[in-house]
Amino acid sequence: MEESGYTVDFYITKQGKCPIDEFLDSLEKKVRAKTMKWIQQLESEGPNLIRPYADILVDDIRELRVQFRSKQYRFLYFFYSKRVVMTHAFLKKTDEVPSVEVERAKRYRKDWIERCAHGG
């Protein structure tokens, strides 16, 4: 969707793995379809997508919040210019987003900026 000018990118590790793709591949079809709908919404609305669909966690790290039945899925991401870079995802099992997940997103963000921000 070009109207907002946001593009969603999935982070790829130095080893060539894509945590978002791997997580999406592990989901049942209906959950994956709902998630893709919300990713499109994020692309359309950018930082204007708010709770309960998205939220700011800490610093520049945000979460896309997908609920399906009793399960809560979290897709962490950050903005860079007009890009939404999704770092990884997990099944949320506690009230708080685990700090280990936030730290992983921060590491991935730092790596992405160093490797990809200026080159594509």
pTM above 0.85, yes or no: yes
φ, ψ (nearest 5 deg) of residue 17: -90, 150
What does the pLDDT read at residue 2?
42
pLDDT exceeds cutoff 70 at 118: no
User: In the predicted model, is pLDDT for residue 1 greater than 70?
Assistant: no
Name the class of domain 7-116. alpha beta
Tokens at residue 59, please? 């610093």
- Domain residue ranges in the chain: 7-116
Q: E strand or H helix at 104, and its extent? A: helix 99-116
Minimal CA–CA distance to 91: which of 80, 113, 69, 75?
Answer: 75
- Tell whether the model's pLDDT for residue 50 goes beyond 60: yes
